[in-house]
């Protein structure tokens, strides 16, 4: 209770003489406040300068990126045009070479008697004889048989 009375008395004295508390520091604080106001103005000027530079650089970056995108799109279109031209062109010599090879393979198959013959290997196990082996059965009913 005693401390509360002291606190009330101190507050009453401080509220009665507020100018006396601040009178000693006023001239030094005014100079500090002026210096701080000057620094704030300088910082605001610097921030405006930086935002102006950022807006200019972002505009320049946007313009450059637009140019890069247009170049990329034009190159993609050029590549697609070249690929379309290449896909429509058939090399005649390559086509004739492949045609001759396939005809030669067909003739060789017919000459050897293996036309339409398909052999499928099958594993057969004989339980009574306890033997096993692979057998090649003919899958279709062709007139050609291996004997």
Contacts of 132 (CB under 8 A, 6+ apart): 123, 124, 125, 126
Going by C-alpha positions, the residue among 107, 113, 116 that lies closest to residue 138 is 116
CA distances in angstroms from 54 to 41, 46, 63, 127, listed in the order given: 20, 12, 14, 89
**E strands of the chain, at which residues?**
119-126, 131-138
Is 147 or 34 the better-scoring residue by pLDDT? Answer: 34
Secondary structure letter of residue 35 according to DSSP? H
Question: 9-23, 27-41, 76-90, 115-129: which has the highest mean pLDDT?
Answer: 27-41
What are the pLDDT digits (tens) for 51-91? 888 888 778 778 887 887 788 788 888 888 777 766 666 77
Residue 139 has pLDDT above 60, yes or no: no
Q: If pLDDT is split at 50, 70 and 90, which confidence band does 128 have?
A: confident
């Amino acid at each position: 209770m005693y401390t509360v009375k002291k606190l009330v008395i101190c507050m009453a004295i401080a509220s009665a003489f507020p100018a006396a508390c601040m009178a000693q520091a006023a001239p030094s604080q005014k100079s500090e406040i002026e210096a701080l106001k000057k620094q704030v103005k300088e910082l605001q000027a610097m921030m405006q300068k930086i935002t102006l530079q950022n807006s200019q650089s972002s505009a320049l970056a946007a313009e450059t990126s637009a140019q890069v995108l247009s170049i990329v799109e034009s190159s993609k279109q050029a590549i697609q045009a070249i690929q379309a031209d290449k896909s429509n062109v058939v090399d005649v010599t390559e086509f004739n070479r492949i045609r001759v090879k396939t005809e030669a393979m067909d003739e060789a198959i017919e000459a050897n008697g293996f036309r339409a013959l398909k052999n499928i290997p099958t594993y057969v196990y004989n339980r009574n004889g306890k033997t096993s082996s692979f057998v090649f059965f003919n899958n279709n009913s062709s007139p050609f048989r291996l004997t």
